[in-house]
A and B are shown apart, each in its own frame.
Chain A
Amino acid sequence: DTGVSQNPRHKITKRGQNVTFRCDPISEHNRLYWYRQTLGQGPEFLTYFQNEAQLEKSRLLSDRFSAERPKGSFSTLEIQRTEQGDSAMYLCASSPWRDYGYTFGSGTRLTVV
């Protein structure tokens, strides 16, 4: 499979619990992005990696959020002490160097109850 893979596809969690999502980008893409999308809205930028370096974090990403991309391959997004407002679709995308035409994954839909 040559697409962007995200796991899990769906996650239901109780408020206050921690959750972790995984993204496997297209193997030759060195750029990886996380976006969040709520109902009726376009995706909003969360963070960006170039290889293993996290180069930018949105102010939307509170201290409860952390993302990693060890060895410049897959990435994880962790949300600690989840709140109901964290309920959203979390999208991962990747692109090669100097190409703005991202390839998105299918997303992880998080529901906090």
Chain B
Amino acid sequence: EDKVVQSPLSLVVHEGDTVTLNCSYEVTNFRSLLWYKQEKKAPTFLFMLTSSGIEKKSGRLSSILDKKELFSILNITATQTGDSAVYLCAVNSGGSNYKLTFGKGTLLTVNP
């Protein structure tokens, strides 16, 4: 069975800190890894990673994938209170090209 494990499960930081969120996976026939941000309701798409070693960036957020070691990290620099959310990692794998397996998420709290 496909497995996605995120760490830490929760994290409290102060505004301006830099954080690194981790996602490791054990899946058959890996296709892609995705990061989502979930505040009160709907998860919103952040990044999709398919190739090892290529960093995706969007403003203060960046992510990279290591397909050899089967993990990804999501970095957030100069954190703001608006970054407080659950960050979800998901993997698309196996014979289907549509179903995602999610981790439990990391709850990030950024205090002023």
The stretch that binds A, out of B13-21, B36-44, B60-68, B69-77, is B36-44
Closest residue of chain B to A48 (Cβ to Cβ) is: B98
* A45 sits at the interface (CB 8 A): yes
Minimum C-beta distance from B2 to chain A (A): 10
Closest residue of chain B to A92 (Cβ to Cβ) is: B42
Interface residues on A, range: 20 to 34
Minimum C-beta distance from B29 to chain A (A): 14
**Residues 38-80 (chain A) with a chain B CB within 8 angstroms:** 40-45, 48, 50, 56
Closest residue of chain A to B95 (Cβ to Cβ) is: A56
Minimum C-beta distance from A28 to chain B (A): 16
**Would you call B45 and A101 a contact (CB within 8 A)?**
yes
Known: A40-B104, A42-B90, A100-B32. A91 touches B42 (CB 8 A): yes
**Would you call B92 and A100 a contact (CB within 8 A)?**
yes
> Complex formed: what's the CA distance from A102 to B88 in Å?
13
Residues of chain B with a CB closer than 8 A to A100's CB: 31-32, 34, 48, 92, 97-98, 100
Q: Looking at the complex, which one of B34, B42, B102 makes contact with A44 (CB distance below 8 Å)?
A: B102
**Residues 72-108 (chain A) with a chain B CB within 8 angstroms:** 91, 95, 98, 100-107
Closest residue of chain B to A45 (Cβ to Cβ) is: B99
Q: Looking at the complex, which one of B45, B90, B100 makes contact with A103 (CB distance below 8 Å)?
A: B45
Closest residue of chain A to B103 (Cβ to Cβ) is: A42
Q: Looking at the complex, which one of B4, B43, B48, B104 makes contact with A104 (CB distance below 8 Å)?
A: B43
**Would you call A45 and B32 a contact (CB within 8 A)?**
no
Closest residue of chain B to A31 (Cβ to Cβ) is: B98
Question: 26 interchain pairs (CB within 8 A)?
Answer: A33-B99, A41-B104, A41-B105, A42-B103, A42-B104, A42-B105, A43-B100, A45-B99, A48-B98, A50-B98, A91-B42, A95-B98, A100-B32, A100-B48, A100-B92, A100-B98, A100-B100, A101-B48, A102-B45, A104-B42, A104-B43, A104-B44, A105-B42, A106-B41, A106-B42, A107-B41
